[in-house]
């Protein structure tokens, strides 16, 4: 069974859609559009993640979520992104999920105010209505607090350039390769001491994920450097993965004693990393630097 939406087929067996509309004390309406799949994947790690979130946003919109004086469709401008701060409490922190959102905003050349926020200086409405979660994108009267939902929102309403491919099977294939990578990377990075038996087990689990990426990037029919399909189009999946790979790259060198030789064992992955790290949307949003990554992973995560 499928739903035909925006000339695309959304498989119902991959889509369990929940939409809750809540009205705050200031009479603003906010929507939480959540998707899960039969495999338990998140929206970006699902066959039809983008279409599912887009459908949720459309349903919300037609029920009044986006109806304002300026019209039914959100317009550029009026965006503020609240993110985790660095050690000084005022500069940008190392959160890969916030970096993901910032890459999407940069790819689409959307202006926004960036506000690193501690628990003490978060706005009261963010604490009261959204449990203080970040990254949080405030777009005029609406706020979204999940990085994947934010990314889908931006790509749905601000479609130039599009960060999605039309072939759902290609997106599913690339998404499946990423499944479990970040948890494996986080467990290995945070484990102490380096080199004990448990550390070796966590390293092996991470390297299994890295090998999957290496194999995917070396697959038949690939003509471009990026993740989905033939690799020619830069997508949301690349925006999501790049900051996580950057954190891994820094942590391997400065926390984990260079335990994994990426260039030697995973040359295709290393080249992919170099390509996405060289993209303007990455370079313009990675001002937090290695020292902040090390601080974050040794004291915060």
Q: Is 251 a catalytic residue?
A: no
Maximum separation of any 2 CA atoms in the chain, in Å:
61
Choosing from 95, 143, 239, 251, the catalytic residue is: 95
Report DSSP letters for the chain, one per residue.
-EEEETTEEEEGGG-EEEEEEEE-TTS-EEEEEEEE-TT---GGGSTTHHHHHHHHHHHHHHTTTT-BTTBSS--S--EEEEE-B-TTSSSB---HHHHHHHHHHHHTT---EEEE--TTTS-HHHHHHHTT-SSEEEETTEEE--HHHHHHHHHHHS-SS----S-HHHHHHHHHHHTTHHHHHHHHHH-SSTTSHHHHHHHHHHHHHHHHHHHHHT-TT--SSSSSTTS-S--HHHHHHHHHHHHHHHHHHHTSTT-S-HHHH-HHHHHHHHHHHTSHHHHTT-TTHHHHHHHHHHHT-
Nearest to 58, CA basis, from 157, 168, 164, 167: 157
Active-site amino acid positions: 95
């Amino acid at each position: 069974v499928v739903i035909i939406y925006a000339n695309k087929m959304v498989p119902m067996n991959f889509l369990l859609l929940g939409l809750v509309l809540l009205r705050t004390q200031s009479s603003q309406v906010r929507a939480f559009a959540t998707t899960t799949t039969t495999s338990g994947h998140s929206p970006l790690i699902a066959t039809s993640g983008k279409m599912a979130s887009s459908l949720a946003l459309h349903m919300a919109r037609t029920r009044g979520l986006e109806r304002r004086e300026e019209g039914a469709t959100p317009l550029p401008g009026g965006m503020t992104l609240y993110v985790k701060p660095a050690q000084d409490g005022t500069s940008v922190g190392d959160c890969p999920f916030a970096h993901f959102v910032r890459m999407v905003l940069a790819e689409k050349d959307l202006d926004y105010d960036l506000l690193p926020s501690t628990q003490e200086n978060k706005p009261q409405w963010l604490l009261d209505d959204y449990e203080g979660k970040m990254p949080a994108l405030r777009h005029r009267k609406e706020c979204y607090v999940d990085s994947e939902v934010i990314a889908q929102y931006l790509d749905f309403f601000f479609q130039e350039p599009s960060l999605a491919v039309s072939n759902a099977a290609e997106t599913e294939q690339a998404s499946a390769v990423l499944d479990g990578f970040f948890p494996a990377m986080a467990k290995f990075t945070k484990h102490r001491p380096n080199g004990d038996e448990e550390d070796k087990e966590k390293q092996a689990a991470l390297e299994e994920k890295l090998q999957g990426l290496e194999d995917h990037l070396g697959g038949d029919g690939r003509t471009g450097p990026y993740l989905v399909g033939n690799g020619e189009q830069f997508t949301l999946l690349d925006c999501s993965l790049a900051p996580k790979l950057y954190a891994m790259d820094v942590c391997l060198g400065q926390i984990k004693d260079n335990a994994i030789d990426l260039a030697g064992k995973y040359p295709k992955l290393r080249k992919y990393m170099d390509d996405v790290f060289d993209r303007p949307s990455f370079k313009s949003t990675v001002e937090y630097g290695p020292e902040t990554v090390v601080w974050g992973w040794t004291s915060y995560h």
